[in-house]
Amino acid sequence: MGVRLEGTLARGGFRAELAVEVGDGEVLGVLGPNGAGKSTLLRTMAGLLPLAVGSLRLGDRVLDDPARGTFRQPEERPVGLVFQDYRLFPHLDVLDNVAFAARCRGLSRRESRSRAAGWLDRLGLADLAERRPHEVSGGQAQRVALARALARDPELLLLDEPLAALDTRTRLEVRTELRRHLADFAGPTVLVTHDPLEAMVMTDRLLVLEGGRVVQDAAPAEVARRPATPFVARLVGLNLYAGELERGTSTVRLDDGGTLVASTEAGTAGRVLVGLRPSAITLHATRPDRASTRNAWPGTVTGLELLGDRVRVQVGGAPPALVDVTPGAVAELGIEPGMPVWLTAKATETDAYPDVVTLPT
């Protein structure tokens, strides 16, 4: 059961080679930079774009299979899609927007409206029934769009950056609520996002897309801990280095210069990625005592940024690193751009894992 897509997606000159499977009740997050193919994936699943090659199945039904000449039109697919810009019909009030799917199925106006009213109740929108879309707030419009998609009784739910159009405060509120509704949904859900927090909090599994390829497919915690590409590492705020593990040792020779002694799982060899949390690195004004840590290297401070109660220090060197320190440490050490420093990191905090992705550069 669930949804299964395997094949080539094409949109204009863009092509993506993907294999995606989402089980019933599972929420798959799709994370990736702009142009990675996230929206193309959703549009293909919804039937707004045909597959170039391959097949798309929902349950035991084939929705799209160009080789067999099968293509179900979007209106023939039991798929609910929540667009990023919601696309609520401006000429209909909230109730009739949510009643739209039932009307299309041939139910009477009365019956459709009474069902729609049920959905509005469930999503706490009953008071807005008679408002037009331009008369509701962004967070409310998001919920109306969700209600409208759910009112179709979809077997597959697709959400395209559902919170991107909201301001930060509303986003927090809606996120919690949306998560609850997604948990209630019995079928597979695909949620496209570029917000790492959204991806971590709302999904069961993360698919990282880059340049039309799946570069990582893992649990959110795993993606955060061991990102497969610099893009994801940047999103989750991790220092990530690619390099070669020297045979028989735990020393990694980094591609961009420098070496790190890392902890590895048994059997790891060859190309590796090394993840290092900014808070696991310590800054020193002078060369530290060599005995205490395995990794120590010199660098130069290139920038400072205040992040809540921490200061993120950018340090150039081999390798360069982001380091989180307390404001007190900044004052104590007198850290400022241009200052030479020493960095240390414990080998136990330095995690090396196999590099399975080789991105074309």
Helix (H, G, I), strand (E, B) or coil at 209: strand
Residue 118 in the binding site for another protein (CB under 8 A)? no
Spatial contact of 237 and 322, defined as CB atoms under 8 Å apart: yes
Buried b (16+ CB within 10 A) or exposed e, 330-358: beebebeeebebbbbbbbebbbbbbbebe
Given CA atoms 16, 19, 25, 31 in this order, what sign does their dihedral have? negative
CB of 74 to another protein, least distance (A): 4
Q: How far is the CB of 45 from another protein (least distance, A)?
A: 10
Residue closer to another protein by CB (options 2, 74) is 74
Q: Does position 143 bind another protein by CB under 8 A?
A: no
Could you tell me which stretch among 26-34, 40-48, 191-199, 305-313 binds another protein (CB under 8 A)?
40-48
Tokens encoding 330: 């900044």
Under rule CB under 8 A, residue 14 binds another protein: no
Cα–Cα distance, 171 to 59 (Å, whole number): 33
**C-beta closer to another protein: residue 127 or 153:** 153
Residue span binding another protein (CB under 8 A) among the ranges 17-25, 96-104, 225-233, 314-322: 96-104
Q: Where are the alpha helices (DSSP H) in the chain?
A: 38-46, 94-104, 109-122, 138-150, 168-184, 196-202, 220-225, 230-236, 327-333
**Closest distance of CB 146 from another protein, Å:** 13
Binding piece for another protein, criterion CB under 8 A, among 24-32, 81-89, 174-182, 339-347: 81-89
Angstrom distance (rounded) from CA 196 to CA 204: 13
As measured in angstroms, the least distance from the Cβ of 40 to another protein is 14
CA dihedral 264, 293, 337, 315 (to 10 degrees): -10
Is residue 90 part of the contact set for another protein (CB under 8 A)?
A: yes
What residues numbered 224-243 form the site for another protein, per CB under 8 A? none
Closer to another protein at the Cβ: 86 or 353?
Answer: 86
Which residues are at the interface with another protein (CB under 8 A)? 46-48, 73-75, 77, 79-81, 83, 85, 87, 89-91, 100-101, 103-105, 148-149, 152
